[in-house]
């Protein structure tokens, strides 16, 4: 590989980082670093959590996506330090000197300062998070089937989703479908239609960034699926198997966290200006103030949209557009020489409007902030948009097939509990026993 | 559920147990117990281990398969004891009294008395085994990409498969394809065609139960794929990263065990006559001597084929036929009254002959012990047979699609490393460090 070419280092292969690599065309070496070997299609993660898709259907190896980019190298490793002054990135196995840096390390689940809640309320940010939620729900219903104590059975069959944003709404909707409709044929002793799904929203309405009438439609569609939607219901305290909502205590073995995201913790050690939630405040061109050769894109960036003057939201389309913007910008500089940040083009976000699904054939969408859609037509729109954006042919075809099949038959193809999931389940139970809630332990003996 | 009906308890939902449940038609309650929630299509497990299929594609929830059997109940639990005299099975959560018992608990990986080898040589019996092998190989090649020491890199890029039976041959063939052909496009620093796959067989030829000319054809086909086939090469000792074959020491981070299976350990506590490897010796009708209402089927049974007078082999078709035989037998007894074992029909095994695949388009088959096939035509035959036997429409369609796609493009859709795989990888490394082999540890810090 030509060592004398400029070197671009990209940290993270989420939507922003991967789009950068795909759109970047210039005589330069590119090194992309990610701690995973795969790119994850996060908007469908809730489908893995609720056994609608299998994990490999929404993930694709980064090496495969970039195999044809001969000047691009993929390293699976963790970033331990970034020295913006020395233009050097340290990994656990090596250091990388760069001419241009693209920080696209994304975010982590945010428990609003209550780290201890992470033990009891499962977040949804990685494939492992999704598999953990799936095993929790599947194992709970398996345990409910043989549980003779009615109170314990109710606790096992109750799912509480905290947070009424898009993630919480999607999770609650598919959980209701899975437990109340898909499971219906499978169990003999319990009645899955007695399963309870509660969605908790601290504010006065779910989907608070949507117009009030769409929030209302979303709420009605969730209720049609059997979800209890509690608004003005902040979770004050979470412990093992219990959520305290002011005076009310919800007992549940399946507490899911649909709350917020903050920037990956590494940003705190950069020595640059950070915004709320640790995001890196960028110049209009997405470069980092004082470091014109370093950029922040995606969920890790606090950027202003030059079009609207509003902060760019933390959604996949915005991340992809930021990646593309910086790819073009750096390519132009490499070809035509550097320019100061204020002479570079500012990032303009093309916002097609928000959309969220609510289960099998329901959704709400606000196309270009003009056309409001809800119900089946909104769901079809959502389906088409997501299929178009899915990266890699294989996934697109298989996901379509899975969805069609699930839609026609109401079966769930991915309701598989791995043995190590059971191990995790046992660990959970051990934890709960520490908390002095009596659930009988299971032995690990054969068959 | 009608409590006064006879109660049939089935232990295990592998090929034998599940086929029993599907073929059993009589006025009786059936309870099937399995420690997993899914039935596993074991003949394709090596495809999951080598990232050709994803785990959910060869597994199907037992509840789904049996959803329409209204008198059949599925319990996910472990069997802790069987009392043949009292006709009672004890689980961790409850006890079950039976009128008829079908023991179909299968086998576990057998290290020929060297339990300590299990730490170093990965077996292939469960989905978790397959995922463990997959993560080991994927992580080894990721580590090789950033490894600067040539000896360490060679060790990471060497795969040793122990045992030249069908499992070992299938594993070695697909490992060679994965590492030498599929990985080729993906890596920049290492040359995957330098990957080394060694198949060790203790005896004079691989596939020893096949005729010698098919063994020879299998060996040639493996060699075409780049596999080194070592015969008369027993593994004398296995330690972390090393296999001792007499005086020769093979260094490898990827040691896979394609060796034998013994019956699940529970059989030792039954107080009945056991054969080699702990299998339950059965009467010709597959009942357990002295217990005409209890049967052993599948890999846990040591049965004689009434047709050939030979022991029934431990393969999927034999297990399915045993399950069907006992299903018909018990149904007839429930309808027409019990008969003593010697008046019942003896089990006759319809053997269509053995077949084994060797990678992408190669196989050997011996149809009805008459027609010998090898190469592409044998592989097509193998493909058709396995598709026909795959249980559940969805899996059949998706597996076909995956195979066609993999066949056309040589891509592997399932090369996903989960974070917990990385955790496991770190644990491996820690173990290896105890063994005083220096591999640098990785930190868990972000991004």
Write the CB contacts of B53 (distance below 8 Å, at least 6 apart in sequence): B44, B47, B399, B402, B414
Q: Which helix (H) or strand (E) holds B235?
A: none
**Is residue B398 within 8 angstroms of chain A, CB to CB?**
yes
Helix extents (H) in B182-315: 212-224
**Contact assignment for A64 to B36 by CB distance below 8 Å:** no
**Is residue A405 within 8 angstroms of chain B, CB to CB?**
yes
Contact of B285 with B329, CB cutoff 8 Å: yes
**Is residue B77 within 8 angstroms of chain A, CB to CB?**
yes
CA–CA gap between residue B109 and residue B107 (Å, rounded) = 7
Mean pLDDT in residue range B336-359: 91
Number of H helices, E strands in chain A: 11, 25
**Contact assignment for A446 to B187 by CB distance below 8 Å:** no
Q: What are phi and psi of A261, to 5 degrees?
A: -125, 135
Those of residues 118-137 in A touching chain B at CB distance below 8 A are 126-128, 131
Closest partner CB to B64 (pick from A77, A266, A411): A411
Tokens 């070592």 locate to B230
Neighbour-count burial of A373, counting CB atoms closer than 10 A to its CB (0-12 exposed, 13-18 middle, 19+ buried): buried
> In B, which residues are within 8 Å of A58 by CB distance?
none
Report the DSSP beta bridge partners of residue B162. B200, B257
Among A170-174, B141-145, B180-184, B311-315, which is the least confidently predicted range?
A: B180-184
Closest partner CB to B77 (pick from A35, A146, A412): A146
Q: What is the pTM of this model?
A: 0.81
Tell me the per-residue pLDDT of B167-212, one tens digit each, with 9 for 90 and over. 999 999 999 988 887 787 788 888 888 899 999 999 999 999 889 9
CA–CA gap between residue A266 and residue B43 (Å, rounded) = 45
Q: Other C-beta atoms within 10 Å of B400: how many?
A: 13
Contact of B84 with B291, CB cutoff 8 Å: yes
CA–CA gap between residue B364 and residue B379 (Å, rounded) = 7
CA–CA gap between residue B292 and residue B286 (Å, rounded) = 9
Its sign, for the CA torsion A184, A189, A194, A197, is negative
CA–CA gap between residue B270 and residue B83 (Å, rounded) = 7
Distance from the Cα of A382 to chain B's closest Cα (Å) equals 24
Chain pair A-B, CB pairs under 8 angstroms: 203
User: Percentages helix, strand, coil for chain B, rounded to the nearest 5?
Assistant: 40, 25, 40
Identify the pLDDT of residue A19.
94
Those of residues 167-196 in B touching chain A at CB distance below 8 A are 185-189
**Is residue A438 within 8 angstroms of chain B, CB to CB?**
no
Q: Which helix (H) or strand (E) holds A280?
A: strand A280-281
**Is residue B95 within 8 angstroms of chain A, CB to CB?**
no
**Contact assignment for A415 to B37 by CB distance below 8 Å:** yes
Q: Other C-beta atoms within 10 Å of B60: how many?
A: 25
User: Percentages helix, strand, coil for chain A, rounded to the nearest 5?
Assistant: 40, 25, 40
CA–CA gap between residue A154 and residue A143 (Å, rounded) = 11
**Is residue B92 within 8 angstroms of chain A, CB to CB?**
yes
**By C-alpha distance, which of B32, B40, B41 is closest to B12?**
B32
Q: What are phi and psi of A411, to 5 degrees?
A: -90, 160
**Contact assignment for B105 to A266 by CB distance below 8 Å:** no
> In A, which residues are within 8 Å of B126 by CB distance?
419
Catalytic positions of B, please? 170
Tell me the per-residue pLDDT of B113-139, one tens digit each, with 9 for 90 and over. 888 898 999 999 988 899 899 989 999
CA–CA gap between residue B365 and residue B353 (Å, rounded) = 7
> In A, which residues are within 8 Å of B61 by CB distance?
186, 412, 415-416
CA–CA gap between residue B213 and residue B232 (Å, rounded) = 17
Please identify which of the residues A73, A116, A142, A170 carries the catalytic annotation.
Answer: A170
**What are the tokens at B391?**
């249980």
Q: Other C-beta atoms within 10 Å of A199: how many?
A: 29
CA–CA gap between residue B402 and residue B399 (Å, rounded) = 5
**Tens digit of pLDDT at every position of chain A (447 positions):** 456 899 999 999 999 999 999 999 999 999 999 999 999 888 888 988 988 777 877 888 898 889 889 899 999 999 999 999 999 999 998 999 999 999 999 999 988 888 889 899 999 999 889 989 998 999 999 999 988 899 999 999 999 999 999 999 999 999 998 888 778 778 888 888 889 999 999 999 999 988 999 999 999 999 999 999 999 999 999 999 999 998 899 999 999 999 888 999 999 999 999 997 899 999 999 999 999 999 999 999 999 999 999 999 888 899 999 999 999 999 999 999 999 999 999 999 998 888 888 877 788 988 888 889 898 888 888 877 777 776 554 555 566 666 665 555 555 556 777 654 444 433 333 333 222 222 223 333 333
> In B, which residues are within 8 Å of A77 by CB distance?
146, 442
Distance from the Cα of A249 to chain B's closest Cα (Å) equals 28
Mutate to test the interface with B, among A2, A416, A429, A443 (most CBs of B within 10 A): A416
Closest partner CB to B67 (pick from A77, A186, A266): A186
Identify the pLDDT of residue A215.
94
Closest partner CB to B127 (pick from A55, A78, A418): A418
**Contact assignment for B93 to A146 by CB distance below 8 Å:** yes
**By C-alpha distance, which of A30, A31, A29 is closest to A5?**
A29
Catalytic residue status for A170: yes
**Contact assignment for B76 to A36 by CB distance below 8 Å:** no
Q: What are phi and psi of B69, to 5 degrees?
A: -80, 90
Q: What are phi and psi of B255, to 5 degrees?
A: -100, 120
Q: What angle do CA A436, A441, A444 make, to 5 degrees?
A: 150
Say if strands A287-288 and A291-296 run parallel, antiparallel, or are unpaired.
antiparallel
**Is residue B281 within 8 angstroms of chain A, CB to CB?**
no
With a threshold of 0.95, tell me whether the complex ipTM lies above it.
Answer: no
**Is residue B138 within 8 angstroms of chain A, CB to CB?**
yes
Neighbour-count burial of B340, counting CB atoms closer than 10 A to its CB (0-12 exposed, 13-18 middle, 19+ buried): exposed
Closest partner CB to B416 (pick from A56, A413, A443): A56
């Amino acid at each position: 590989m030509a060592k004398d070419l400029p070197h671009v280092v990209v940290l993270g292969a989420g939507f922003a980082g991967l789009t950068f690599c795909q759109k970047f065309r210039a005589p330069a070496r590119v090194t992309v670093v990610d701690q995973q070997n795969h790119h994850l299609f996060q908007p469908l993660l809730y489908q893995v959590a609720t056994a609608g898709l299998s994990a490999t259907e929404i993930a694709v190896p980064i090496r495969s996506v970039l195999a044809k980019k001969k000047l691009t190298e993929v390293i699976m490793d963790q970033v331990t330090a970034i020295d913006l002054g020395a233009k050097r990135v340290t990994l656990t196995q090596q250091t990388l000197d760069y001419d241009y840096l693209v920080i696209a390390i994304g975010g982590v689940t945010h428990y609003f300062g209550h780290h201890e809640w992470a033990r009891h309320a499962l977040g949804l940010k990685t494939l492992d998070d999704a598999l953990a939620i799936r095993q929790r729900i599947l194992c709970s219903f398996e345990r409910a089937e043989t549980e003779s104590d009615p109170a314990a059975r109710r606790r096992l069959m109750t799912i509480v989703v905290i947070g009424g944003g898009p993630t919480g709404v999607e999770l609650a909707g598919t959980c209701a479908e899975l437990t109340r409709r898909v499971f219906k044929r499978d169990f003999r002793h319990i009645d899955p239609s007695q399963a309870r799904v509660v969605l908790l929203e601290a504010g006065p309405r779910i989907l608070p960034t949507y117009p009030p009438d769409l929030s209302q439609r979303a709420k009605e569609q969730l209720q049609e699926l059997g979800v209890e939607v509690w608004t003005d219901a902040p979770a004050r305290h979470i412990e093992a198997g219990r959520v305290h909502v002011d005076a009310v205590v919800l007992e549940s073995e399946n507490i899911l966290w649909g709350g917020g995201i903050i920037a990956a913790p590494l940003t705190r050690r950069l020595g640059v200006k950070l915004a709320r939630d640790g995001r890196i405040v960028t110049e209009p061109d997405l470069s980092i103030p004082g470091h014109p050769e370093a950029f922040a894109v995606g969920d890790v960036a606090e950027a202003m949209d030059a079009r609207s003057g509003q902060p760019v939201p933390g959604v996949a389309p915005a991340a992809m557009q930021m990646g593309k913007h910086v790819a073009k910008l750096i390519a132009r500089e490499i070809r035509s020489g550097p320019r100061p940040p204020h002479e570079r083009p500012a990032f303009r976000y093309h916002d097609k409007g928000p959309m969220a699904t609510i289960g099998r054939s329901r959704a709400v969408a606000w196309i270009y902030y003009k056309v409001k859609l809800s119900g089946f037509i909104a769901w079809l729109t959502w389906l088409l948009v997501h299929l178009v954006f899915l990266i890699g042919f294989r996934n697109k075809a298989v996901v379509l097939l899975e969805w069609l099949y699930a839609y026609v038959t109401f079966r769930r193809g991915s309701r598989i509990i791995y043995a190590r999931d059971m191990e995790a389940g046992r660990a959970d139970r051990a934890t709960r026993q520490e908390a002095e809630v009596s659930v009988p332990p299971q032995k690990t003996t054969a068959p």
